């Protein structure tokens, strides 16, 4: 039951990288704060309302991906090289996210290119997460005892998240950045899908639902 030092360290390292990527998202906004030298704060806020929205969206996306990652890793007692490599791929996607976020912030003509870049990045993160879940399912000795159900659930969640990201990417081909609000539906859709799957598969087990 005792988690290995490698797992502890990989987890702490991952959390550190995510925490920094999350914080770097704000840098383009710190940069636009310079405009306060020449215009009123009211104009600044009005003009950059869309950039504030892009920041909040990326912040929410990273936070949600991190919560999913936490739940997936909660099923482990140890990690191997394969999980480490897939985790690095996941981190690459998270670390890169400030770039498409900044493109969304700076882009003026609001074509679909910025949205496609952004969604491609989210697909990379979701797909790496799915591959991580599949790898964990295949490596039973690395799992905490009695966690096979949670591992299966993580795989199902990964499939849903990846599909939703790909669907939004395709929608962005036609709708450009109007597709982005669809992402707001995702946590709701996923919660609904999970609840249904959960009830179908194990009608009695609801232990980690009762908690706040």
51-90 residues in contact with its own copies (CB under 8 A) are: 55-56, 59-60, 63, 66-67, 70, 74, 78-84, 88
Residue selected from 47, 50, 138, 163 as contacting its own copies according to rule CB under 8 A? 138
Q: Does 137 bind its own copies (CB under 8 A)?
A: no
Q: Do 93 and 124 touch, CB atoms closer than 8 A?
A: yes
Residue 126, Cβ density class (10 Å: 0-12 exposed, 13-18 middle, ≥19 buried): buried
* Interacting positions 143-202 with its own copies (CB under 8 A): none
Q: Helices 98-106 and 112-138, interaxial angle, to 10°?
A: 160
Of 77, 62, 61, 91, nearest to 184 by C-alpha is: 61
Q: Does 113 bind its own copies (CB under 8 A)?
A: yes
Six-digit token string for 46: 């009005």
Q: Which residues, in sequence order, are bridge partners of residue 143?
A: 76
Residue selected from 6, 166, 171, 197 as contacting its own copies according to rule CB under 8 A? 6
With contacts defined by CB under 8 A, name the span among 104-112, 123-131, 146-154, 158-166 that binds its own copies.
104-112
State the binding string over 12-41 for its own copies (x if CB under 8 A, else -). Answer: xx-xxxxxxxxxxxxxxxx--xxxxx--xx
């Amino acid at each position: 039951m005792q988690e290995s030092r490698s797992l502890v360290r990989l987890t702490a390292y991952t959390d550190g990288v995510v925490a920094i990527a999350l914080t770097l998202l704000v840098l383009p906004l710190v940069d636009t704060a310079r405009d306060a030298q020449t215009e009123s704060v009211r104009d600044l806020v009005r003009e950059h309302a869309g950039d504030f929205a892009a920041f909040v969206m990326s912040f929410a996306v990273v936070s949600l991906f991190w919560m999913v990652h936490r739940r997936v890793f909660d099923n482990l007692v140890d990690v191997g090289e394969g999980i480490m490599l897939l985790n690095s791929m996941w981190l690459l996607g998270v670390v890169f996210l400030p770039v498409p976020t900044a493109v969304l912030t700076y882009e003026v003509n609001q074509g679909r290119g910025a949205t496609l870049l952004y969604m491609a990045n989210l697909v990379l993160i979701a797909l790496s997460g799915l591959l991580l879940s599949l790898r964990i399912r295949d490596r039973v000795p690395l799992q905490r005892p009695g966690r096979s159900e949670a591992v299966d659930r993580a795989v199902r969640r990964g499939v849903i998240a990846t599909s939703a990201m790909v669907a939004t990417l395709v929608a962005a081909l036609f709708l450009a950045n109007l597709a982005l609000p669809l992402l707001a539906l995702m946590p709701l859709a996923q919660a609904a899908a999970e609840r249904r799957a959960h009830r179908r598969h194990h009608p009695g087990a609801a232990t980690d639902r009762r908690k706040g």
